Chain A
Amino acid sequence: MTEVVVIPMEHGLLLAAILFLIGLLGVMVRRNILLILMSLEIMLNACGLAFIVVGAHWGQADGQIMFMLILAIAAAEVSVGLGMLLQVHIRIGTLDIDLASRMRG
C-alpha cells in the first residue's frame, strides 16, 4: 500500500499564482505577438490549475468542469489570436506589437 501524499492546497495555489505572474509579465514585456499569445496561454492554464486545486480540496467536481471550459476558451482564443497574428504579419510585415500602434489617440 502506498502512502497517499496529499499536496497542500497552498502549494498548488502558490504554483498557480507564480505561473499567472510569469504569464502576465510575459504579456507586458514581450513585443513579439507569438510570445504574447503563449504568455496568455500560461495565464489561462494558471487559472485552470487554481480551479483544479481548489476543487480537489473541497472534493467537488466543479473545479474540473471549469477547467474544461477554460480549455475550450483557450482553444478558441488561440485560433482567433493566430488568425490575427497572421493578419498583422501580412499587413505590417513584422510581429512587433509596438509597431501596430496606429490606433492611438
Chain B
Amino acid sequence: MADHAFLIPLIPFIGFLILFCTLGNLPRYWVAVIGVGSIGSSAIVVALLGIEFLSQKDPTPYAVHLYTWMNLAGFQPGVSFYIDGLTLTMMFVITGIGLLIHVYSSLFMFEEEDYSRFFSYMNLFVAAMLVLVLADNLLLLFLGWEGVGLCSYLLVGFWYQDSANGMAARKAFIVTRIGDTFMALGLFLLYQHLGTLDIQPMMHVATASWAIGDPTVTLACLLLVGGAVGKSAQLPLQTWLPDAMAGPTPVSALIHAATMVTAGVYLIARTHELFLLSPIALNIVALIGAATLIMAAFTAMTQSDIKRILAYSTISQIGYMFLALGVGAWASGIFHLVTHAFFKALLFLAAGAVIYSLHHEHNIFKMGGLRKKLPLAFWSFMIGSAALAALPFTSGFYSKDAILLSAWESGPMGPGLWAAGLLGALLTAIYSFRLVFIVFFGATQTEPDKPAGSVMAVPLLILCLLSLLGGLLTVPVSQVFPPATALDHSGLIPAVTLAIPILGVLIAWLIFLRRSVDLGAITSSAVGKFLVTFWFRHWMMDSLYDRVFVKPYTFITLANRRDIIDSFYNGFAGALRLLHDYATLSQTGQLRTYALVMLMGVVALIAVFAGVITP
C-alpha cells in the first residue's frame, strides 16, 4: 500500500480539479458523486494503508519519496510523505470525519446555487489538509498549512454576496497570516541552524546539537508556537474563529472544529522533540492553553448564537489540547484531538440540522422546545454535549480526564494548570447544557418546518456512536511519543476531576431548566451586567485589537493616502512634463522658422570650430 500513499491527497485534489474546471455546469447529482466519492475513495485508501500499517507486529514508520520538489544548492525539499501512527491518526480523522461531513453536506447544501463551488473548495481543503499531515518536511507541511488557510478563507466567505461574510473571511485569513509569518520565520531559523527541514533528520540533529534550554531552540519553538496559535485560534490570535462561523455549517464542522484548527496541535506534536529541548516553550504552550480555555469557556456561557457558542467551545477545547502538549501528555493531547473531532463535528452537524429546520435561525433564545420536534438533533446534542462536558464514559471523558491528571502530575505548575483545566471543565459542562436546555426544552418559539433528511441522519448517527464509544479507541501513537507516565486513577484528585462536570450539569439544570436561581437578578446587577458584557464580547479582545492595531493602521493609511514616497516620483515626473511643455513651444510647425534656427545653429558651430568663440 505504501506505493499508493500518493493517492490519498491526489484523489480529493482531482475531485477539486474536476469540480473547479467544470465551473458548476455539472448536474447536482454528479457534483455530489464526485465531491463525496473522492473523499470516500481517499478514506478507503487510508483505511487500507492503516490496516496494513497497524497489523504489523512492530509497526515501523516509513517515508514515501515521490519526487524532489526543488534543488537549491543543497536544499532539497522533497514531495515525500512520512507515515507513522500520528499521521495515520490524523488521516483517519480527516478522511473519516471528512467523509461523514461531505455526505451530510450533499443534502444540507443541496439548495445552494453554488453547490459545485462548495464541493470543489471542500475537496481542495481535504487534499491540502492531507498534505499537511503527510508531509515529511516542514516546507511541504507549510504548503498544506497555507492551502488549508486558503480554503478556510474561501469557505468562510462562501456566501460572499453578504459583505459581512467577506469581512469575516478576510479577518480569518489575515489573523492566521500573522501566525504563519511567525511560523515561516521559525522555519528559516531552523534551516539556518540545522541545515535541513526534513522532520526526522532535523529532530535528530537538533537533539544532538542543542542542549536542553538552549536559547536558539526556545526561540525556534516559540516561533512555531506563533504559527500554531494562529491556526488553532489560541490566545492571543483566537479572535478570528468566532467570526469564521459566517461560513456554512458543514464548513464550521470540518474546518473550524474537527481538522484545520487542530493543525497547530499537530505541528507541535510533530516537532515534539524540539519542544522537549525547551522547557520554557512547553510551559508557555501549557499557559496559553490554560488561559485560552478559561477565557473561551466564560465567553461561551454568554453567547446567544448557537454556532458562536460552539466556536468558543472549540477554542476552549483546543486550549485543553495545548495544555496537554505543554505538560508533555502528547498522546492525551492527540487523543483529545480525535475525540473532540467526533463530538464537535457531531455538535456542529446537529446545530446545522436545527438551523436547517428553522429557516437559518441562529439565536438560541428564539429556539426552544425542540426536543419532541427534532428528536435526532436533540439526541445528537445530548450525546455531543455529554462528550464535550466530559461526563463519565463518553469519549470526551477519557481524553479530558487524562489531560487533567497529566496536568496535575506535571511538576511545580501542575496544580495550577489542573485547577484551570478543572474550572474550564465546570464551565464547559454549564455552557454546553445551557445550550441544550434552552434550545430543546421549554416553550416552543419557532416551529420547525422540514426535518433533516436521512442523508443527514446517517452521519449524525455514526458520529453519535463515535462520541459515545470513542473513548474505547486507542490512538496508535505510542511509538511516536516518549512513553507517558502511568496515571494514578485512585485518590481524591481523579475523583474531583470526575465529579466536576457532573456538578456543572447540575448547575446548568438548576439555572436554566428548574430556574431555581434567578438569573435575571444576577445579570442585572452592576457587576453581573459588566461581566456578562465583558464575557459576551470575549474579554474585549476584539475592541482591544481594534483600538491598538486596526484603528492606528487605518489612520496611518488614510493620512498617507497620497503616498509620500509616490509624491517624490510624481514630482519628478511632473517636472519632466513641465520641461516637455516648454520644449514643445519650439515646435511651431513653421518650416521657415526651422530653417532659420538651423542656420543659426550652423553659424554657431562654424564659429566654434573656427575658434571665433570658445564654449
Chain A contact residues, CB within 8 Å of chain B: 24, 27-31, 36, 97-98, 100-105
Contact = CB atoms under 8 A, between A and B. Distances in A.
Which of A29, A31, A98 counts the most B-chain CB atoms under 10 A from its CB?
A98
B192 interface: no
B587 A28 contact: no
B587 A97 contact: no
Interface stretch (B15-23, B143-151, B592-600): B592-600
15 contacts: A24-B599, A28-B595, A29-B592, A31-B592, A97-B592, A98-B590, A98-B592, A100-B589, A101-B588, A101-B590, A103-B589, A104-B587, A104-B588, A105-B584, A105-B585
Contacts of A98: 590-592
Contacts of B589: 100-105
A74 B574 CA distance: 45
Interface in B545-588: 584-585, 587-588
B589 to A, nearest CB: 3
Contacts of B591: 36, 97-98, 100-101
B179 to A, nearest CB: 59
B588 A28 contact: no
A36 B590 CA distance: 13
Contacts of A105: 584-585, 587, 589
Contacts of A102: 589
Nearest to B585: A105
Interface string B173-211: 000000000000000000000000000000000000000
A46 to B, nearest CB: 14
B50 to A, nearest CB: 79
A23 B194 CA distance: 86
Nearest to A98: B590
A98 B595 CA distance: 13
Question: Which 8 A-B residue pairings sit nearest by Cβ, starting from the closest?
Answer: A104-B589, A101-B589, A105-B584, A97-B591, A103-B589, A104-B588, A27-B595, A28-B595
B592 A28 contact: yes
Nearest to A33: B591
Interface residues on B, range: 10 to 19
Which of A29, A36, A105 counts the most B-chain CB atoms under 10 A from its CB?
A105
Given A24-B595, A100-B589, A101-B590, 7 more contacts: A24-B599, A28-B592, A28-B599, A98-B590, A98-B592, A101-B588, A105-B587
Contacts of A31: 592
A25 to B, nearest CB: 10
Contacts of B585: 105
A102 B584 CA distance: 13
Nearest to A30: B592
Contacts of A104: 587-590
A100 B591 CA distance: 9
Which of B584, B588, B590, B592 counts the most A-chain CB atoms under 10 A from its CB?
B592
Nearest to A27: B595
Interface string B524-556: 000000000000000000000000000000000
Interface string B40-53: 00000000000000
Interface in B452-478: none
Contacts of B584: 105
B587 A103 contact: yes
A28 B599 CA distance: 10
Contacts of A103: 587, 589
A105 to B, nearest CB: 5
A27 B592 contact: yes
Contacts of A101: 588-591
Contacts of A24: 595, 599
Nearest to A24: B599
A79 B585 CA distance: 32
Contacts of A100: 589, 591
A35 B428 CA distance: 105
A79 to B, nearest CB: 19
A61 to B, nearest CB: 27
Which of A27, A30, A97, A102 counts the most B-chain CB atoms under 10 A from its CB?
A27
B512 to A, nearest CB: 83
Nearest to A103: B589
Contacts of B588: 101, 104
A27 B584 CA distance: 23
Nearest to B588: A104
Which of A30, A31, A100, A101 counts the most B-chain CB atoms under 10 A from its CB?
A101
Contacts of B596: 28
Interface string B218-240: 00000000000000000000000
Contacts of B590: 97-98, 101, 104
